[in-house]
Structure 1
Amino acid sequence: MLQWTFLLLTNKLHVVLWLNDNNGAVLALLTLIYVLTTFLIFYANLSSVKEMQKSREEENRPYIVVYLRYLNNGGVEFVVKNIGKTLAKNISITSNPDIDYPKERPLSKSNLLNNTISNMAPDFEYSGLLEKVWDLKDKEGNFPTYAITVFYIDTKEKGYKEEYVLDFNVNVDLKNPVQRDIHDLVQDFSGYRQDNLKSMKELNRRIQDLSHEIKTEKNQEK
Structure 2
Amino acid sequence: MTHELKVLAVDFGAWTPDDWSALAAVASTALTILTVVIAVLAAIYAKQQVDLARQLREDQAQPFVVVDFADNPVWNKAIDFVVENMGQTLAKNVKIKVDPPFQTTMDDTGHTLASSPLLSQAIPSLPPGKRITALFDVSHERHAAGLPMKYTATVEFEDAHGKPQEPLTYILDLSIRYDLLSITEYRTHDAAKALREISKTLKETRGDLKNEFYRRRQAESADDDSSSVE
TM-score range, shorter chain: 0.5 to 0.7
Aligned length: 168
Aligned residue number for residue 166 of structure 2: 160
Of 47, 64, 87, 1:84 maps to 87
- Cα–Cα, structure 1 residues 26 and 91, in superposed 2: closer, same or farther, change >3 Å? same
Task: Output the CA distance in 2 between the equivalents of 1:26 and 1:55.
Answer: 43
Displacement of 1:14: 3.0
Q: What amino acid does structure 2 have at the position aligned with 1:111?
A: P
Task: Output the CA distance in 2 between the equivalents of 1:17 and 1:177.
Answer: 85
Aligned residue number for residue 94 of structure 1: 97
Displacement of 1:29: 6.3
What SS does the corresponding residue of 2:15 show, helix, strand or coil? helix
Q: What amino acid does structure 1 have at the position aligned with 2:159?
A: D
Displacement of 1:105: 1.9
Aligned residue number for residue 127 of structure 1: 133
Q: Which consecutive residues of structure 2, in runs of 5 or more, have no partner in the other structure?
A: 1-10, 185-230
Q: What amino acid does structure 1 have at the position aligned with 2:81?
A: F
- Within the alignment, does 1:14 sit opposite 2:18 as a pair? yes
Q: What amino acid does structure 2 have at the position aligned with 1:150?
A: V
Q: What amino acid does structure 2 have at the position aligned with 1:97?
A: P
Task: Output the CA distance in 1 between the equivalents of 2:144 and 2:115.
Answer: 20
Of 144, 147, 154, 2:152 maps to 147
The sequence identity of aligned pairs, in percent, is 24
Q: How does 1:194-213 map to 2 (within 5 A)?
A: none
Higher helix share: 1
Q: What amino acid does structure 2 have at the position aligned with 1:122?
A: P
CA-to-aligned-CA distance 1:38-71 (integer Å, 9 cap, x gap): 2222111101111112222233322111111222
Q: What amino acid does structure 1 have at the position aligned with 2:15?
A: N
What SS does the corresponding residue of 1:174 show, helix, strand or coil? coil
TM-score, normalised to structure 2's length?
0.61
Task: Output the CA distance in 2 between the equivalents of 1:176 and 1:30.
Answer: 69
CA contact (8 A) 1:62 1:85 kept: yes
What SS does the corresponding residue of 2:179 show, helix, strand or coil? helix
Aligned residue number for residue 61 of structure 1: 62
Q: CA RMSD, aligned part only?
A: 3.0
Q: What amino acid does structure 2 have at the position aligned with 1:75?
A: A
CA-to-aligned-CA distance 1:145-172 (integer Å, 9 cap, x gap): 2111111222351512222222222214
CA contact (8 A) 2:92 2:124 kept: yes
CA contact (8 A) 1:97 1:147 kept: yes
Q: What amino acid does structure 2 have at the position aligned with 1:68?
A: F
Displacement of 1:131: 2.8
CA contact (8 A) 2:78 2:138 kept: yes
CA contact (8 A) 1:76 1:130 kept: yes
What SS does the corresponding residue of 2:153 show, helix, strand or coil? strand
Aligned residue number for residue 45 of structure 2: 44
Task: Output the CA distance in 2 between the equivalents of 1:177 and 1:170.
Answer: 17
CA contact (8 A) 2:103 2:147 kept: no
Q: Which consecutive residues of structure 1, in runs of 5 or more, have no partner in the other structure?
A: 1-6, 179-222
- Cα–Cα, structure 1 residues 54 and 175, in superposed 2: closer, same or farther, change >3 Å? farther
Task: Output the CA distance in 2 between the equivalents of 1:57 and 1:130.
Answer: 34
Q: What amino acid does structure 1 have at the position aligned with 2:56?
A: S
